[in-house]
Structure 1
Amino acid sequence: MTYQENFQKWADFADLPDYLRRDLESMDEKTKEDAFYTNLEFGTAGMRGLIGAGTNRINIYVVRQATEGLARLIESKGGNEKERGVAIAYDSRHFSPEFAFESAAVLAKHGIKSYVFESLRPTPELSFAVRHLNCFAGIMITASHNPAPFNGYKVYGEDGGQMPPHDADALTTYIRAIDNPFAVEVADVEAEKASGLIEVIGEAVDTEYLKEVKDVNINPALIEEFGKDMKIVYTPLHGTGEMLARRALAQAGFDSVQVVEAQATPDPDFSTVKSPNPESQAAFALAEELGRQVGADVLVATDPDADRVGVEVLQKDGSYLNLSGNQIGAIMAKYILEAHKNAGTLPENAALCKSIVSTDLVTKIAESYGATMFNVLTGFKFIAEKIQEFEEKHNHTYMMGFEESFGYLIKPFVRDKDAIQAVLVVAELAAYYRSRGLTLADGIEEIYKEYGYYAEKTISVTLSGVDGAEQIKAIMAKFRENGPKEFNSTEVSITEDFKAQTSTAADGTVTTLTTPPSDVLKYTLADGSWIAVRPSGTEPKIKFYIAVVGESNEDSQAKIANIEAEINAFVK
């Protein structure tokens, strides 16, 4: 169907709610095209889009259609999956509670049990709930760290990880088979609450999660001595982190946590920040203000669904240093491995996992402790798959997994990024460096001196709408067909095409990659630096990753600047 036909189908639907009809009526032609030219698709983390009317927007009908697909997938299994049911959680965004209960209503129409949280909860708690309640699946209503006009829908498998490609493809097939989202039937929510088919959950699951999270910290004696009165500033950025982070820190023994109260209230408009993204230093403005007032050693921020964490650390001059996702991953890995080694609890088969676009510094750290690093595709579900594999084969002990995009998981009772766990480790890290008369900033410098000056930069280019999607395809095609042979006057020694599953050496030798197909290109240079390019799985963006290692910080930054200029010139 053309976008005009799709638009007309919506305009002709008599029962369309007034707020969606007003949205339709206010659309200019360009907006109309963008809202109806395609369907919102599942990416690396479910679907995410602007809230509003349209097939390429997120609204009750798109949510019903997705959940109808999930219900049909569950029915196709033919076992006790309907009784095991689906756990459902949601964040602080516009329409999040409505989308959660719409999902439950669709499932109930199929006789499928659901457990819906009474109020907003973090994504990692949803992952935990799927496992704890032995559900067949989970639904998380969130757009993570996107700006306020967005919302999203993530589906989890029975292991508590985001649905892996095979199941996600099957789900997509069921969803696409639903021609008319307006015809999806829903049960009466209040009636099904009374019948028990829709069960509202909350505090009992919180308690069980908090019991598990106690094991994240490694050295309670250190926390007792150096963490108890250490000033930590925490901000949930108007999101779900407030539900658990403060309690988790308190039970771990961090008694001097100061919360940015202006950002502790759930707010779908994220009024105090331009974007609720802890990757951005701008999101720390109020935390820095409070940090200076109380003399905080460390500032931590979680995004609206509390799966990502950002960190700033006090420097000698009194300013705060904003750490990159790779730096946080490196200092966490170093501490976790060192602390376990000192305690005599580091397993011989210790393993860490990271995405292929995350820093090799952590690989070097892992190897220095005799641990193995596993590289997986972008998307935490691939780390969850590795954890499952370790458990089934008993061949490795999982120590930590991370992605450069500020996602970390330490203990695998959750199978997705968990900012609550990460906050606890960052706090313990700060206490550790404090015990040595140092700061986390000093700790980063120590790592560079020991392992080399690794530096990374991610460049995200937003290309929206029909034209944008075509531009992204054209850029990927240009790299594939006529990719650079060198960067920064250094030869490309290996070109990996994860879509074609090939690794091509400079002499033309081709080997096969074992990872599942994914639209990613990675160029490794003769000096160990690398460049990767991939379209985002959740946003209309193309991403370029640059990773280098140099003799000094200045050397590394110069390499990055040169490579960035070359990428910009190549893309034009």
Structure 2
Amino acid sequence: MNWKDNFDAWQKQNDLPADLKTEMTQLADTPDKAEDAFYQPLSFGTAGMRGIMGAGINRMNIYTVRQATEGLARLMDSLDDAVKQRGVVISYDSRHHSAEFALEAARVLGAHQIKAYLFDALRPTPELSFAVRHLHTYAGIMITASHNPKAYNGFKIYGEDGGQMPPKESDIITQSIREADMFEVPVGDVATLKEQDLLIEIGADVDSAYLEEIKTVTINRDLTENVGADMKLVYTPLHGTGAQIAGPALENAGFKNVTMVPEQKEPNGDFPTVELPNPEDHAALAMGIDLAGKIDADVAIAVDPDADRMGVAVRRGDGSFSLLTGNQIAALMLNYILTAKADAGTLPENGAVVKSIVSSDFATAIADDFGVKMINVLTGFKYIAEQIQHFEDSHDHEFLFGFEESYGYLVKPFVRDKDSIQATVLLAEVAAYYKQQGQTLYDGLQALFEKYGYFVEDTKSLTFAGIDGADKIAKIMADFRDETPAEFGGVKVVTTEDFDKQTQTQMETGDVTTLNLPKANVLKYWLADGSWVAVRPSGTEPKIKFYVGTKGATQTDADAELAAIQKSIDALIVD
């Protein structure tokens, strides 16, 4: 079927919700927009699906949500009945239609006689991951578009380990989704499902259990209770889910002086104070920094709407604030974890840290210094979750920390995804550690630079939306794959890694070895001085990303090389 056939099929539906009916009328007068909404189904992968809300098969709406849930339900129908009866836990964030989509998912599951544990109100993604493990359900569903603009929403499926659904099961779900007619997906009656105990409301009981586990994140309780009581922290959930859980978590750890940004505290799917509700975006922390300056706070913390990512601004000696990158935040937290455990005599001999292949080697230098193994995995926190499960099964390593450069961190494995609640509690403790020494987090970062070298990284994203966007991204990847750049920023490329072909090539000799990682559409180039460049399409957005990592003897040296490499990337893209 072409887009017009799909559009006509929707036009014939008599029971569309009022908002979708109105949009269909508008789309009838705008063929270009109608084509984009109907030319292909919304992509569903191992990270679930994410897209603009509205009418169409390429949009987030109750029908695409029902269809996705039907895919999960059919997978569960094929399983042993005891496994199926464990059910599914469902949570959602503050975006428009999130509560509605969550309930629709529960109704589809109920029609298959699958129990749904539905949170009574919005909750963070990490708590959903925790709840899957805590309630021993077979799966979890999180309705969220994470840090995307307000027009977006999404649907993420989690496996029984609390990590994102593994590829094998995800592929089965995808096939079932494609086979299901979105308008014929059966849904149960809410009142009947509740009477039959197929729709169970959860909330405070899971909050309490999660907060109890969060207490184990704190390493030095004497430090947090004594120094933390005098610290001033500013926190903003950016109109999302974070405040409800982060406030009690910080208080439990001893941080009593936490001020929420009042204009951003309440959930609001319009995100009225920010253009992007993304802690990676410097503008998202502007109100937090302003408030921190007014009340003389030590740190300003921001998390995205589903509270899995955390960004930080730290006070400098002159009273101004500096925004830290995700890599810098990870380095500070990792150094503190290893230092505190080493000082306490609790650093395990088989400790391991896990990071993505596009994250900084700053953390690697720190781990090496403490004799801790660093394991690199593909981008996507599910790969970090897989390593944690491997550690538990094989007992060959003890998980100490995991992170991605995109502001995602995990301290304790009772969650198997990025967890800004854990990260917030630990970051506050790290700030207390430096405050006890008369220093700031900024001072601590400078000390790490002086010890390990000046690591500087940056990510450049290019957006190619619409029908032709995927083709443009594919062409850029093909061009880089077909002709390896000889240099970046005047520095020679010495090694190329193609994670799709799973090969590592030494440019001078032509020697090729096999990469011991799953296939992925990623290219990475290592330069003669140890700097690197990586290229990959985003798995959740119409973007292609260019990652650059450099290291210099000084900040100036590292910044200069970064700028030179970025300039050469721009030239290659233009060519």
Same fold (TM over 0.5): yes
How far residue 348 of structure 1 moved from its aligned partner, in angstroms, is 0.2
Number of the residue aligned with 2:534 = 532
Give the Cα–Cα distance (whole angstroms) in 1 for the partners of residues 35 and 318 of structure 2.
Answer: 52
419-428 or 25-34, which moves further after superposition? 25-34
Number of the residue aligned with 1:85 = 87
How far residue 225 of structure 1 moved from its aligned partner, in angstroms, is 2.1
Number of the residue aligned with 2:5 = 5
Number of the residue aligned with 2:486 = 485
Note the 1:44-443 alignment, pairs <5 A.
45-178=47-180, 180-443=181-444
Note the 1:540-555 alignment, pairs <5 A.
540-555=542-557
Deviations 1:108-128 (A, max 9, x none): 000001100000000000000
Give the Cα–Cα distance (whole angstroms) in 1 for the partners of residues 176 and 129 of structure 2.
Answer: 23
Give the Cα–Cα distance (whole angstroms) in 1 for the partners of residues 231 and 18 of structure 2.
Answer: 52
8 A Cα contact 1:44 1:538, kept in partner: no
8 A Cα contact 1:408 1:417, kept in partner: yes
8 A Cα contact 1:350 1:371, kept in partner: yes
How far residue 96 of structure 1 moved from its aligned partner, in angstroms, is 0.3
2:529 partner amino acid:
D
Deviations 1:236-271 (A, max 9, x none): 111000120000000110011111121111101011
Number of the residue aligned with 1:29 = 31
8 A Cα contact 1:164 1:382, kept in partner: no
Number of the residue aligned with 1:523 = 525
Give the Cα–Cα distance (whole angstroms) in 2 for the partners of residues 527 and 163 of structure 1.
Answer: 39
8 A Cα contact 2:326 2:407, kept in partner: yes
Give the Cα–Cα distance (whole angstroms) in 1 for the partners of residues 16 and 32 of structure 2.
Answer: 22
How far residue 489 of structure 1 moved from its aligned partner, in angstroms, is 1.9
Deviations 1:522-549 (A, max 9, x none): 0011111110000000001000000011
Q: For 2:230, what is the secondary structure of its paired residue?
A: coil
Give the Cα–Cα distance (whole angstroms) in 2 for the partners of residues 264 and 413 of structure 1.
Answer: 27
Q: For 1:285, what is the secondary structure of its paired residue?
A: helix
2:25 partner amino acid:
E
Give the Cα–Cα distance (whole angstroms) in 1 for the partners of residues 33 and 223 of structure 2.
Answer: 56
How far residue 9 of structure 1 moved from its aligned partner, in angstroms, is 1.1
8 A Cα contact 1:535 1:542, kept in partner: yes
Give the Cα–Cα distance (whole angstroms) in 2 for the partners of residues 555 and 49 of structure 1.
Answer: 41
Give the Cα–Cα distance (whole angstroms) in 2 for the partners of residues 370 and 198 of structure 1.
Answer: 49
Number of the residue aligned with 2:558 = 556
8 A Cα contact 2:101 2:143, kept in partner: yes
How far residue 194 of structure 1 moved from its aligned partner, in angstroms, is 2.1
Q: For 1:181, what is the secondary structure of its paired residue?
A: coil
Runs of 4+ with >6 A deviation: none
Deviations 1:482-520 (A, max 9, x none): 120211222211111111111111111111112111111
Q: For 2:227, what is the secondary structure of its paired residue?
A: helix
Q: For 2:85, what is the secondary structure of its paired residue?
A: helix
How far residue 24 of structure 1 moved from its aligned partner, in angstroms, is 1.5
Q: For 1:52, what is the secondary structure of its paired residue?
A: coil
Give the Cα–Cα distance (whole angstroms) in 2 for the partners of residues 513 and 177 of structure 1.
Answer: 35
Give the Cα–Cα distance (whole angstroms) in 1 for the partners of residues 83 and 98 of structure 2.
Answer: 25
8 A Cα contact 2:245 2:421, kept in partner: yes
Deviations 1:191-218 (A, max 9, x none): 1112211100000000000011101010
How far residue 284 of structure 1 moved from its aligned partner, in angstroms, is 1.2
Q: Which runs of 5+ in 2 are unaligned?
A: none
How far residue 224 of structure 1 moved from its aligned partner, in angstroms, is 2.0
How far residue 433 of structure 1 moved from its aligned partner, in angstroms, is 0.5
Q: For 1:465, what is the secondary structure of its paired residue?
A: coil
How far residue 285 of structure 1 moved from its aligned partner, in angstroms, is 1.7
Give the Cα–Cα distance (whole angstroms) in 1 for the partners of residues 202 and 319 of structure 2.
Answer: 44
Number of the residue aligned with 2:20 = 20
Q: For 2:541, what is the secondary structure of its paired residue?
A: coil
8 A Cα contact 2:489 2:567, kept in partner: no
Give the Cα–Cα distance (whole angstroms) in 2 for the partners of residues 175 and 504 of structure 1.
Answer: 39
Let me know the Cα RMSD of the aligned residues. Answer: 0.9
Give the Cα–Cα distance (whole angstroms) in 1 for the partners of residues 102 and 94 of structure 2.
Answer: 12
Q: For 1:183, what is the secondary structure of its paired residue?
A: coil
Give the Cα–Cα distance (whole angstroms) in 2 for the partners of residues 493 and 255 of structure 1.
Answer: 52
8 A Cα contact 2:76 2:84, kept in partner: yes
Give the Cα–Cα distance (whole angstroms) in 2 for the partners of residues 22 and 335 of structure 1.
Answer: 55
Give the Cα–Cα distance (whole angstroms) in 2 for the partners of residues 202 and 34 of structure 1.
Answer: 39
1:49 partner amino acid:
G
Q: For 2:90, what is the secondary structure of its paired residue?
A: strand
How far residue 44 of structure 1 moved from its aligned partner, in angstroms, is 5.1
8 A Cα contact 1:364 1:451, kept in partner: yes
Q: For 1:413, what is the secondary structure of its paired residue?
A: coil
